[in-house]
Amino acid sequence: MPPSTYSCVNPHDYPDRYTDHDRQRWVDEPAKRVDAPERTPFERDRARVVHSAALRRLAAKTQVVGPETDDFARNRLTHSLEVAQVARDVAHVLGCHPDLAETAALAHDLGHPPFGHNGEAALNSLAEAAGGFEGNAQTLRILTRLEPKSWAPDGSPLGLNLTRATLDACTKYPWLRDRGRHGTKFGVYAEDVDVFAWLRQGIEGERRCVEAQVMDFADDVAYSVHDVEDGIVSGAITLSLLDDPDERGAVWATVREWYLPEVGDDELDEALNQVRQVRAWPALSGAAWPGAAYDGSRAALARLKNLTSDLIGIFCGAVQHATREVHGPQPLVRHDADLVVPTHTITQIAVLKGIAAHYVMRSEQRTSLMARQREVIADLYGYFSTRPDAMEPMFAGDFATATDDSTRVRVVCDQIASLTDGSALLWHHSATSSR
């Protein structure tokens, strides 16, 4: 049965699928005015993330290239909006609440510091003794503590005070740091275990809810396709180069190093051949992309956009179909089911991610820039650690009330992670010029 024949679940079914336990908040809130617009708890959660300062800051944070370097390339905010659209569409067909999946997608990168994964790695190294730094754990910290919106009766901050189901959907890695089992990926700091235990109440083990799985898949789809699109427009990626066996072999080595260590060249060749069958993939000759070289014309841009649309549709359709084959037509919510991603879809996505990684993220220009970015993060870390009074007032206040060194390190990381690429550079200039 083709994916398109599955009907979407009626939104009126959602109240029966999600319980009061799912809709509960960390701290109960008074009822809204009777004349206020009627919204569901999950709609309120989505609105709180949309209106958050943390989401706005993503507009000035690196996705692949810095937001100041290119008017076309994605930044963290536009990427998050695209992930949200993909997640909502997938959720709608599978019967998860679209607002839950969309909110998780909007929130999934809130914890990223300036300079993307490069800044994340730098902070993780600097904060090693205090439990490290991880963007996903920082996201939970923002949602439940740092974003100024709600307060408990005792005066402690609650972040956005989202519902249990929404916070669970936002938790991509539902475990604490454990290098022996999970490498560098984790979703909660030791300081935040109380709210983590609350949001995972009644759940055994480390299984992610299906809404979180939808968010994670939508993230993979969006950045695999859009990073290639951005790379083509910038001139960093020329797809026709993949016709050369040696060039292709170098890209496959990057795929194995970054994404799929055990996959062979034959499997990757087959995955590339499959995505090349997409109708909008550039032929070796044609009016829009003569010689398979992108020329920036309106026709070439339109063909490129159709390519990204077709690939997203194929990947999402494959997952929707495979998941329905296993779980049937019933609505899939919370921990009732797991998303089924076919092996060939995983490999096809890895091929696209590998192309972008090889030609964009590993470029010589980017490598030198990343070294400079790490210096900026290290200098800011040293500056705020010795001059906590220079931090923004809310972080300076947190530092002043911290009772141990680990907590103070975490506050310094909170301050740096809140900065955009541009503001990090401005703070750095101010800090270094005053020496």
* pLDDT 10s digits, 198-226: 999 999 899 999 999 999 999 999 999 99
In whole angstroms, what is the distance from residue 123 CA to residue 409 CA? 10
Residues in the chain: 435
**Strand, coil or helix: 153:** coil
Q: How many CA atoms lie within 13 A of 107 on its CB side?
A: 35
In whole angstroms, what is the distance from residue 248 CA to residue 324 CA? 35
Question: What's the farthest any 2 CA atoms get from each other in the chain?
Answer: 68
Q: Which long-range contacts (CB under 8 A, 24 or more apart) does 19-25 make?
A: 21/164, 21/201, 21/202, 22/163, 22/164, 22/165, 22/334, 23/163, 23/164, 23/165, 24/163, 24/164, 25/161, 25/162, 25/163, 25/164
Token look-up 């005070």 returns: 161
Q: How many contiguous H segments (helices) and E segments (strands) does the chain have?
A: 20, 2
In whole angstroms, what is the distance from residue 123 CA to residue 367 CA? 18
Among candidate residues 119, 71, 121, 109, the one with its CA nearest the CA of residue 421: 119
Residue pair 215/101 in contact by the 8 Å Cβ criterion? yes
Model confidence at 146, pLDDT cuts 50, 70, 90, reads very high
Distances (CA, A) of 236 to 233, 359, 396: 8, 6, 42
pLDDT in tens, 258-302: 999 999 999 999 999 999 988 888 764 444 444 456 788 888 888
Q: Give 287: exposed, middle or buried? Use CB within 10 Å, 0-12, 13-18, 19+.
A: exposed
Percent of the chain beyond pLDDT 70? 88
Token look-up 């969006």 returns: 222
pLDDT for position 9:
53
User: What type of residue is 117?
Assistant: H
Mean pLDDT across the stretch 404-423? Answer: 96
Residue pair 151/157 in contact by the 8 Å Cβ criterion? yes
pLDDT in tens, 35-92: 666 789 999 999 999 999 999 999 987 655 544 555 556 788 999 999 999 999 999 9
Residue pair 169/104 in contact by the 8 Å Cβ criterion? yes
Residue pair 29/161 in contact by the 8 Å Cβ criterion? yes
Question: What per-residue string of b and e applies to 202-215 under the rule 16 or more CB within 10 Å gives b?
Answer: eeeeeebbbbbbbb
Residue pair 223/81 in contact by the 8 Å Cβ criterion? no
Token look-up 């993230």 returns: 219
Among candidate residues 112, 334, 86, the one with its CA nearest the CA of residue 215: 86
Model confidence at 309, pLDDT cuts 50, 70, 90, reads very high
